[in-house]
């Protein structure tokens, strides 16, 4: 069986939900629809869901490749409002304190929902 996730999470979850023929997922921080994706195997199995991804290029890929899903270019946090999204390669955060640990760049402000 092929795995698309980073640490075989999709294989473990497919095993756990083996008896569910058509399910629904919510992927917060969905990132790429193909590489290191926990939900791609489920999508290929016929599931659908909601992908939340603030990075524009990743969001556009989700729109193209996950047409049965609901794809949202937003962030999720404790409060509603605006936040700055910091990027480091494929990783992103709205937590400024992580800037000290890794090199993130300020790309854009996004809308947060609760």
- List the beta bridge partners of residue 92: 87
Share of the chain above pLDDT 70, in %: 82
Claim: this prediction has a pTM higher than 0.75 = yes
Whole-angstrom distance, CA of residue 66 vs CA of residue 47:
11
* Closest to 92 in 3D by CA, of 73, 111, 105: 105
Q: What is the mean pLDDT of residues 15-25?
A: 95
Q: What is the mean pLDDT of residues 5-17?
A: 92
Q: For the segment 59-112, what is each residue's pLDDT rounded down to a tens digit?
A: 999 999 999 999 999 988 777 888 888 777 667 777 777 766 665 444 444 555
Whole-angstrom distance, CA of residue 70 vs CA of residue 38:
16
User: In this predicted structure, what is the pLDDT of residue 35?
Assistant: 93
Q: What's the whole-number average pLDDT of the chain?
A: 85
User: In this predicted structure, what is the pLDDT of residue 92?
Assistant: 78
């Amino acid at each position: 069986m092929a795995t698309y996730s980073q640490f075989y999470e999709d294989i473990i979850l497919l095993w756990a939900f083996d008896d569910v023929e058509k399910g629904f997922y919510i992927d917060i921080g969905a990132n790429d629809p193909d590489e290191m994706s926990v939900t791609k195997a489920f999508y290929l199995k016929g599931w659908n869901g909601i992908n939340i991804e603030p990075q524009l290029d990743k969001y556009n890929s989700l729109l193209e490749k996950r047409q049965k899903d609901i794809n949202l270019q937003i962030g999720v946090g404790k409060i509603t409002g605006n936040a700055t999204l910091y990027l480091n390669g494929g990783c992103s955060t709205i937590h400024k304190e992580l800037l000290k640990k890794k090199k993130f760049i300020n790309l854009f402000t996004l809308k947060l929902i609760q």
